[in-house]
Amino acid sequence: MSAPHKSAPKLPPRDDRDLLTPRPLIVKRGVNPHAPGSAHLKLGRTEILATVTLEDKPAPHMRGSKEGWLTAEYAMLPRATEDRQARERNLQNGRRHEIQRLLGRALRSSLDLRHFRNQTLYVDCDVLVADGGTRVASILAGHAALHDFCDHLINSGRLSEWPVVHNVGAISVGLVGDQLRVDLDYVEDKVARADLNVVATDTGMIIEVQGGAEEGPLTQTEYVQLLEAGTRAVQDIMVDLGRQLSAIQGL
């Protein structure tokens, strides 16, 4: 690995999983009776509620286009964390805006948006409980909610062709000392000397990689190891998600 660095702090042992195994994933769809697509997802202790809304109106920059648009919004409940955080009211919050852009790019890549010409999809991801990995869990929850939504459109006759072209997932991966760990919880993320969020398809195609070093630069070897571990973990977690959503056409 790289040159000597600070030794890893002592961490609680992982419960029933090795360093390269994601936390347990549990997902339920159709949890919101008002939304045509919804999902509640747990990744370890992190919990996300995602809903999908379709508006019969194009996004301003998509007027005249042959494709529709998907936009994502992200928010965290005040007691999603151990200590209460003030309710988010600033729509221009930098971190929130960055996460929303990541979610939007990831979820748009999963759809053939020509099926939604002159329409806008809104995917709302709300963090109910935060224990690390909220943005990658939001991508997974958003993906599940989109499948629920598309299943609804097919069953209601509003669409005749399945619009999901890529099954998209995400996972965090990091270095704690010399240990490469997949799917960091809050304690691990807080002390990691490097971490990445890897967004990829279930076939291993990379959509986006976000993150970097916290305590000095990484070697190219370390970066590649993180990326490869993250990509494999996304593929594994999408198999698990697929099993749980097996009733949904196309997954």
Q: pLDDT digit of tens for each residue in the chain (251 aa)?
A: 554 555 545 766 777 789 999 999 999 999 999 999 999 999 999 999 999 999 999 999 999 899 999 999 999 999 998 889 888 776 567 889 999 999 999 999 999 999 999 999 999 999 999 999 999 999 999 999 999 999 999 999 999 999 999 999 999 999 988 899 999 999 999 999 999 999 999 999 999 999 999 888 999 999 999 999 999 999 999 999 999 997 544 33
Distance CA 2, CA 4 (A): 7
**Pairing of β 69-76 and β 120-129:** parallel
The rounded distance, in Å, linking the Cα atoms of 182 and 131 is 14
Q: Distance between CA 35 and CA 52 in Å, rounded? A: 6
What are the Cα distances from residue 101, in Å, to 37, 107, 139, 160?
Answer: 20, 10, 11, 30
pLDDT at 87: 84
At residue 8, the pLDDT reads 45
What does the pLDDT read at residue 29? Answer: 95
Query: Given this structure, which CATH class describes domain 25-244?
Result: alpha beta
> Is residue 212 marked as binding?
no
Give the model's pLDDT for residue 242: 92
Q: How far apart are CA 156 and CA 83, in angstroms?
A: 44
Distances (CA, A) of 51 to 11, 145, 231: 35, 6, 26
Q: Which two tokens stand for residue 120?
A: 């806008």
Spatial CA neighbour of 119 closest among 155, 153, 165: 153
Instruction: Give residue 5's pLDDT.
Output: 52
Q: What are phi and psi of 171, to 5 degrees?
A: -155, 155
Q: Where are the domains of the chain?
A: 25-244
pLDDT at res. 88: 75
pLDDT at 196: 98
135 is annotated as contributing to ligand binding: yes
In the numeric block, the tokens 């709300």 are attached to 126
Work out the number of other CB atoms within 10 angstroms of the CB of residue 26.
Answer: 13
d(CA 150, CA 54): 11
Is 84 annotated in a binding site? The answer is no
Q: What is the pLDDT of residue 177?
A: 84
**Closest to 188 (Cα-Cα) out of 197, 177, 204, 199:** 177
List the helix and strand counts (H, then E) for the chain: 4, 9
Is 216 one of the annotated binding-site residues?
A: no
